[in-house]
Amino acid sequence: MLPYTEKPYGGARAVAYNTVEGFRKIAKLLEKNDVHLTIVSTARDAVISKKDIHPNIEILHYKFPSFATFSGAFHSYKKNKYFFLSSDLVHAHDIYNAFASSQTGTKTIMTLHGLYWRDLKVDKFNVQKLFYYGWNTIQFMHAFHTLTKFVAISRYVQRELKRLGIYDEFKVVIIENPIRDNLFNIKRAERENLILYPAKIYPLKNQLTFIRAIGILRNQTKEDFKVIFAGKVVDALYYSQLLSEIKKLNLQKYIKFELYPYEKMPSVYAQCSITALTSYHENAPMTISESFAVGVPVIASNVGGIPYMVSHGKDGFIIQPNSPGDIAERLLILLEDRKLRKRMGKEAKKKAQERWRDRIIAKNLLNLYLQLGG
């Protein structure tokens, strides 16, 4: 049970799509092991044109109610009880179906894509969001003990479970998120000194500090460079603040904002020299794994799961998100050293091929299912 759609636009939906694509590629292994997968999409806006993509893989659509914070598990249990009981194993990518499934006695695996308790602390939310993250943290802590297995998408998640006091080494397994396979086949067409910052526009993503770093960088280099902030504006007031800072520092000719469709992002990655992500918190950002797949070095914050993805000095640089000077220094190094960028890009691509290809992740999941007798 995951938010699958044929037209994802990033986040958990992209993970779902890539996971299903991985299973499709190892369909012969599913046949060999007599494993039949029923993919139940929980995405409200799911686009599903083909329900039977292989004799061993079918796709169904289960539409969640609009407001499921308090009633989601009850709704799932009531509507899906028969489905849970008729399955050998349920793998849910949301807390509601995971908890509901576990209550039926069916072997249940859960993958968590956002850490509610961390999201509650690192950003400012309205009252509705406060209840959402707070209540789901309570639900998760209760549900965790009822699960058969828990899939952590990063060693960072494993660390957070320990900090939360609920970690169980026999229950937790690390299986990372897959990325789309076509990224590995994209031919680099680098536009010299193009810096890409792919993230939604709101305070958690910390574009403001990055803009201040660009103000420092402009005075340190003779290199001509451009910055593209690629992402949806989530916070209009914050966006206005960014525009004011750009005008204040006279950076209009260096920076622009774009909103690219998800399917165009591979070609955008192919054109950039550097990808940057100076967020205040990240779990396992796909912008990093996707950049690596194309062979682009990354400059990113020393927060959350990022240090488990980026090897400082080898395939990118880790920086302090509150330090414009630190960010500018690392940008300067990469902008003025094309050979270093190329070397780091090769290391980045190698890492992505070894860790995040969809068929690799699908095989890891299949092995977990077989281990549990699913």
Q: What is the domain partition of the chain in residue ranges?
A: 11-178+357-371, 181-355
What is the distance between the alpha carbons of residues 288 and 280, in angstroms, rounded to a whole number? 15
Cα(52)–Cα(46) distance, rounded to whole angstroms?
A: 15
Spell out the per-residue pLDDT of the chain, length 374, in tens: 899 888 888 888 999 999 999 999 999 999 999 999 999 988 878 888 777 788 899 998 876 655 555 566 777 878 888 888 999 999 999 988 998 999 999 999 999 998 888 876 665 556 666 677 788 888 899 889 999 999 999 999 999 999 999 999 999 999 999 999 999 999 999 888 999 999 999 999 999 999 999 999 999 998 899 999 999 999 999 999 999 999 999 999 999 999 999 889 999 999 999 999 999 999 999 999 999 999 999 999 999 999 999 999 999 999 999 999 999 999 999 999 999 999 999 999 999 999 999 999 999 999 999 999 85
Cα–Cα distance between 133 and 93 in angstroms, integer? 16
Instruction: Judge whether 11-178+357-371 and 181-355 match in fold.
Output: yes
Given this model, what pLDDT does residue 127 score?
61
The CATH number of domain 11-178+357-371 is 3.40.50.10360: no
Architecture of domain 181-355: 3-Layer(aba) Sandwich (3.40)
For 256, phi then psi, to 5°, come to -140, 160
Q: What is the structure's pLDDT at 83?
A: 84
Indicate the pairing of strand 226-230 with strand 274-277.
unpaired
Nearest-CA neighbor of 179 among 47, 359, 365, 45? 359
What confidence score (pLDDT) does residue 125 get?
A: 54
Please give the torsion angle defined by the CA atoms of residues 114, 117, 118 and 123, in that order, rounded to the nearest 10 degrees: 100
Q: 137: part of which helix (H) or strand (E)?
A: helix 127-144
Q: The tokens 């194993």 sit on which residue?
A: 89
Residue 374 CA to residue 370 CA, distance in Å, equals 6
Give me the torsion for CA of 178, 364, 163, 207, rounded to 10°: -10
